Chains A and B, each alone.
Chain A
Amino acid sequence: MDPRTSVINERLRRIGRIIAVSSGKGGVGKSLVATTLALTLARRGCKVGLFDLDFTSPSTHLIMGVKNVQPKEDKGIVPPVVKGLAYMSLVYFSGDQAAPLRGTDVSNALIELLSVTQWGELDFLVIDMPPGISDAVLDLIRLVKRIEFLIVTTSSLLAFETVKKQVSLLQDLKVPIIGVVENMKMNTSKRIQQGTEKLGAKFLAGIPYDPKVEGAIGDVAKLLDTTLAQKIREVAASNIT
C-alpha cells in the first residue's frame, strides 16, 4: 500500500481551517482571489499558509513576486515564509520548466506534498486549486477531511455553468461551501447572485473589474490596494474570521 496517505491528516492537524479556492473554469481570477485572501487573513493577525496546487499552471508565485526562496528540510519539507505567509508550491521543484503531468501524476505529486510538508500551527491554510472537477479536486476531498470550498466565477454564464456542477458535486459529497464570489464584474446584473442562491449556496461578493489588478501582479502592496483586495477584506471579515 501507499503509506503516504495515512499521514496527511496528521500533517494538517494543527491547522484551524483549510480553505480551497476553486473554480469551474480557468481564467476567472481564482489564483488572485486565493492569494489576496491569504494575504488579507495574514494582515488581520492570523497565521496563514498558502498552498499552490494548480500544478500545471502555478501562478501564485508570480502574483506575489516570489524570488530566490526554497523550502527547508526538517523531518519533511518546511515552507518558507513569503510576504507573511507559509508558502508552498511545486515551482520550488519544477522551476520555470513546464511540468506536463497526467491525472495520476498530479495525484501522486499532490499526495507527496501533502504527506511531507510540515506546516506547523496555522489559523488558516488557503489552497489554490486546479480549475474544474479534476483528479486533484477529488483527491483533496478524499484525503483532507476538514476541507471547505470558496468558489470563484465571473459574470459569464459559461463560467457559472461549471460552478453549478461543482456546487452540486460538493453538496452530494457533503463538503462545506463557504460561498461563491463573482469576480471581474462589469455590470450590475444580479443573475449570478440569484443563480448561486438558487443552488443553496451563499453569494459572498461581486468584485468589480479593476484594471489596476494586472499592474499589481508581482507587487503585494499594490495588490492589497485594489478593489479586489477591498472586497476580499469584506468577505474575510463577514464570512471567514
Chain B
Amino acid sequence: MHEWALAEAVITAARQIAEKEKLKEVKEVIIKIGELQQVEEDILRFALSQLKPANFKNAEFHIAKAETTLKCRVCGHTWLFKKQKLDEATAEAIHFVPEVAHAYIKCPKCGSPDFEITEGRGVWLENIKGVR
C-alpha cells in the first residue's frame, strides 16, 4: 500500500493548487505515472477515491502511463526500462525508491551504472481543472 502515500501526496498537492487558483470545485485531475516505479494503478485509483476531499467529490482522475527511457551518461545509449529483466526483490526495491535502479541496472551497451532516467520515473501531477 505504498501507493496510498503517493495518493495522499497527489491529493495534498492538488488541494494546494485548487486553493491557490481559487477553485470551488475540482472536476479533473490529470496524473502521469512512470513505468519505473511500477505503481499499481488500481490501488492508486482506490486510494485517490478514498482520500478526495468534498470539493473533489465529482472530480475525475485521469491516469496516464509513461514509458521509462534510460540514457547512458558514458556512451549515450538510450534504452527502454521494460526490456530489463528484473527479479521480484529488485523490482520491489525500485518500486519503493526508483533511484536504486542505479544499484541494479547497467547500460546494456557499455555496462555503466551512470545513466539518466530521462522519462517515466514516478508519479507526476500534470494538471487540475475546475470551476471558480
* Interface contact A76-B125, CB-CB below 8 Å: no
Q: Which residues of A contact B28 (CB under 8 A)?
A: none
* Interface contact A101-B123, CB-CB below 8 Å: no
* Interface contact A116-B113, CB-CB below 8 Å: no
Count residues of chain A with CB under 8 A from any CB of chain B.
Answer: 33
Q: Which residues of A contact B124 (CB under 8 A)?
A: 1-3
Give the contact stretch, choosing among B8-16, B56-64, B77-85: B8-16
Q: Does A98 contact B (CB under 8 A)?
A: yes
Q: Does B75 contact A (CB under 8 A)?
A: no
Q: Which residues of B contact A115 (CB under 8 A)?
A: 5-6, 9
* A55 CB, nearest partner CB in chain B, Å: 8
In A103-132, which residues have CB < 8 Å from any B CB?
105-106, 108-109, 112-113, 115-116, 118
* A117 CB, nearest partner CB in chain B, Å: 8
Q: Does B110 contact A (CB under 8 A)?
A: no
Complex Cα distance, B12 from A73, in Å, reads 20
In B50-109, which residues have CB < 8 Å from any A CB?
93-94, 96-100, 102-104
Secondary structure of the B side of the interface? helix
Give the contact stretch, choosing among A18-26, A88-96, A143-151, A210-218: A88-96
Q: Does B1 contact A (CB under 8 A)?
A: yes
Complex Cα distance, B103 from A77, in Å, reads 20
* Interface contact B5-A108, CB-CB below 8 Å: no
* A145 CB, nearest partner CB in chain B, Å: 15
- CB within 8 A of A90: which of B100, B121, B123? B100
B11-27, CB under 8 A of A: which get 1 and which 0? 01110110000000000
A2-36, CB under 8 A of B: which get 1 and which 0? 11111100100000000000000000000000000
Q: Does B122 contact A (CB under 8 A)?
A: yes
Complex Cα distance, B104 from A117, in Å, reads 23
- CB within 8 A of A6: which of B1, B13, B102, B104? B13
* Interface contact A4-B93, CB-CB below 8 Å: no
Name the residue in B6, B14, B97 with the highest tally of chain A Cβ atoms < 10 Å from its Cβ. Answer: B97
* Interface contact A109-B121, CB-CB below 8 Å: no
Q: Does A97 contact B (CB under 8 A)?
A: yes
Chain B residues with a Cβ under 8 A of chain A: 1-2, 4-6, 8-10, 12-14, 16-17, 93-94, 96-100, 102-104, 113-114, 116-117, 121-125
Chain A residues with a Cβ under 8 A of chain B: 1-7, 10, 73-77, 90, 92-95, 97-102, 105-106, 108-109, 112-113, 115-116, 118
Known: A1-B17, A93-B97, A112-B99. 7 other contacts (CB 8 A): A76-B1, A76-B2, A90-B97, A93-B93, A102-B114, A115-B9, A116-B5
